[in-house]
Chains A and B, each alone.
Chain A
Amino acid sequence: MTQQTQDLVPEAAAAQVGALVATATGDVLRREWQRWAVAVGDRNPLWFDVEHARAQGYDDVVAPPLYLQYAVLGVTPLDTLRADGSSGAVSGDLAFPDAPRRMAGGESTTFHRYCGHGDVVTMERRVESIVQKQGRSGPFVLVTWRTTYTDQRDELVAEATTSMIARP
């Protein structure tokens, strides 16, 4: 049978392009970034050792830059998780019923400063694009988000572009 290109992007998802799909505010907490860092095996003393951090001109230890995206994660009631156990909380809960297999695509972030314990970070995420593409192993959906992170003084601390791939 001839395989027609099926449309994997439902109207409801396509309508969200350009929309602010997620905002979240969270505290940057030393213990949490240190848990993240040890899970990465990252023992950089900037994240752990206040004397080392002060010797480099920081007031205190700082958070690993890539940790920032996790500082704003809220809680998700377990009965609202998707069947695959993932949460739609930070992606605007875009649904692709015909492309349920999700994979992180990529990320590109500019860091204006490192955050420290007690910083309060606000994330705003917008859907930049939703495009269906044809890959070697078949069609897939590429979703791109544009995200800003600002601190308690309304100063921009980071800007990110992230993407996700959803496959049938």
Chain B
Amino acid sequence: MSTAVETEQLHLEDVAVGDELPDLEVVVDETQMFFFSAATYNGHRIHYDKEWARDREGYDDVLVQGPLQSALLARAVTDWIGGAGRLVSFSAQNRAVAFPGQPLTFGGRVTAVRVEDGRGLVDLEIAGRRGDDVLMPGSATVSLPLRRPAGGAGGAA
């Protein structure tokens, strides 16, 4: 199997403020929504009962689960940081709903790079979008390995 994360490990020294994460593009369909509801033990009708979503809650269709959008946003981050990186914190707000069949994009931008207690840390501004609409803004902090052992000569950041 080959995935993006099997490419060369990202290190702190490779990252600069303003760098963009590769966009993750996804069209969620009802099969994926069904499996996500099953995997999260979520019985909320708004994700599978079209009549309920339309007639009782006033939406045009069933809604993509907010936690699925969060998970896709986190996936864009954990794909980027590779196996030696670690997600330290993750924050996301549900700003607008998404419907199945819509192209969604998940990505982010580096806002800070620092070394703290010998650990490389990167702050990110992240978002799930549909075209130009921001559906899910958020932020994250990740740790990345240092090429040069911490405490060595020169500041990495």
A interface residues (Cβ-Cβ under 8 A, vs B): 32, 35-36, 38-46, 52-53, 55-57, 64-66, 70, 73, 76, 78, 81, 84-87, 101-111, 114, 165
Determine if B32 is an interface residue (Cβ-Cβ < 8 Å): yes
Contact present for B75 and A106 (CB under 8 Å): no
Nearest chain B residue, comparing its CB with the CB of A32: B39
The answer to whether B71 and A81 have CB atoms under 8 Å apart is no
Q: Is the CB–CB distance between A108 and B90 below 8 Å? A: yes
Closest to A53 in B: B83
By a CB distance below 8 angstroms, the chain A residues around B41 are 70, 73, 76, 87
A85, B49: Cβ atoms under 8 Å?
A: yes
* Count of inter-chain pairs, beta carbons less than 8 A: 126
Are the CB atoms of B32 and A109 closer together than 8 Å? no
Q: Which 3 A-B pairs have the closest CB atoms?
A: A106-B93, A104-B66, A108-B91
Q: Please, how many angstroms separate the alpha-carbon atoms of A114 and B74 in the complex?
A: 14
Given A36-B40, A40-B75, A56-B83, 11 more pairs with CB closer than 8 A: A39-B32, A41-B32, A43-B1, A43-B3, A46-B78, A65-B90, A73-B41, A84-B45, A84-B52, A86-B44, A109-B91
Size of B's binding interface in residues, CB under 8 A: 45
> Contact flags (1/0) for B43-60 with A, using CB distance below 8 Å?
111100100100011000
Do residues B5 and A65 form an inter-chain contact, with CB atoms below 8 A?
A: no
Q: Are A85 and B44 in contact (CB under 8 A)?
A: yes
Given A39-B36, A43-B1, A106:B94 Cβ within 8 A: yes
Interface 1/0 per residue, B78-95 and A, CB below 8 Å: 110001101111111110
Smallest CB gap from A110: residue in B: B89
B21-79 residues with Cβ-Cβ distance < 8 A to A are: 26, 32, 35-36, 38-46, 49, 52, 56-57, 65-68, 70-72, 74-75, 78-79
Query: By the criterion CB–CB under 8 Å, are B75 and A104 in contact?
Result: no
**Nearest-CB residue, chain A, relative to B83:** A56
